[in-house]
Structure 1
Amino acid sequence: MASFSSTRRLLQRRQISAILNLIKTQSNFAAARVSTPKVLTTLHGKSSCSKTKSQKDFCRHDSNCVKRTDLNFDEILALLGSGNLQLIDVREPKELVQQGEFPTALNIPLSCLKESLLLNDEHFSEMFKTPKPRPHDEHLVFVGFGPIKSNTALEIAHKMGFKKARQYAGGFKEWMEKTEENRT
């Protein structure tokens, strides 16, 4: 009887683990903060509801669900107006020529981002003519044409310790649409 119970618990763990891995691999959905004490209770046989273990980032189809790292058009506009923004456009130079440039953005192509952020302060300043962002900077924002490259850049930056970095998921495409609406 005890053997059957432990086997069943092992199967439940594997099923839940597979479901969680499947959810994590979905890259084109917005993230939501979800508490999972029931899952932890099932996995461990008892409740272990500490906040760090009981909350996971899951993806869902809800388009109104926005990650805490996403900025919208109005927030970008306000930060641009305050002058308190280090905006990094991660598109390739040829994309900038074809699509246009984001105002005041520093261009560091996604393919060079990690190497650029690893440069020491002096080399970064020489190369880009601006101070290197600090890991604790709150107004470090990545932008691309849409959300794909900026999200990838954000993931790279977060892994490198720039935990407060954010992205403008609407990207240059939304910027052009919104600024065109404001002109008419």
Structure 2
Amino acid sequence: MVLPRLPLGTAHGAVLGSVEAALCGLKSLKGSCHNFCTSVYEDVTYKELKNLLRSKSIKLIDVRETWEIHEHGKIPGSINVPLGEVGEALQMTPRDFKEKYNEVKPSKSDSLVFSCLAGVRSKKALDTAVSLGFNRSQHYAGGWKEWVSYEVSEKNMEI
């Protein structure tokens, strides 16, 4: 993040300098600020996601629109909760969540991974989840596009 430089003699310069120093400090903490700083989260890779799904140790939430899922497909085992519904969905009662999404509602202690088409919406969903206390959350930045290309590559190598 690059902040504009103002003369250090001004109040604005002092405040911006402090903010910049704090942000640089957060980035240097990398692994220790997961509970309040999503900008330092590591992205889940294709191989990591595949292993996590195989081990059933995560809940994968696809935040694309429902029509996108119907038109293009989804990562097996994912739950479709469109981005615009993520905040509300994570605050629903377990019964309401089950009724609407036909899946068990994630708890704050569950490990969540968010995905979308290419990683932009999943990052927004991650920020929303963390702000609601779902601190064991990550996102799959490669999204559906990357998943499909790897799946095709793996199938071609089997042949």
TM-score by length of 2: 0.76
Which of 27, 30, 34 aligns to 1:33? It is 27
Choose 8-17 or 105-114, whichever is displaced more. 8-17
Residues 1-50 of structure 1: per-residue CA shift (max 9 Å, x gap):
xxxxxx837464144157579x89xxxxxxx8226xxxxxxxxxxxxxxx
Q: CA deviation at 1:115?
A: 1.2
- C-alpha distance in 2, partners of 1:89/1:95? 10
Gaps of 5+ in 1: 1-6, 25-31, 36-50, 60-66
1:87 counterpart letter in structure 2: L
- C-alpha distance in 1, partners of 2:86/2:122? 11
Structure with greater proportional strand content: 1
The structure with the largest alpha-carbon Rg is: 1
- C-alpha distance in 1, partners of 2:139/2:118? 10
In structure 2, the partner of 1:114 is: 87
Name which structure has the greater RCO, CA cutoff 8 Å, separation 6+: 2
Gaps of 5+ in 2: 1-7
Distance 1:57 1:10, change over 3 A: same
Which of 139, 144, 152 aligns to 1:180? It is 152
Over aligned residue pairs, what C-alpha RMSD do you find? 3.0
Work out whether residues 62 and 80 of structure 2, in 8 Å CA contact, stay in contact via their aligned partners in 1.
yes
Distance 1:155 1:181, change over 3 A: same
1:16 counterpart letter in structure 2: G
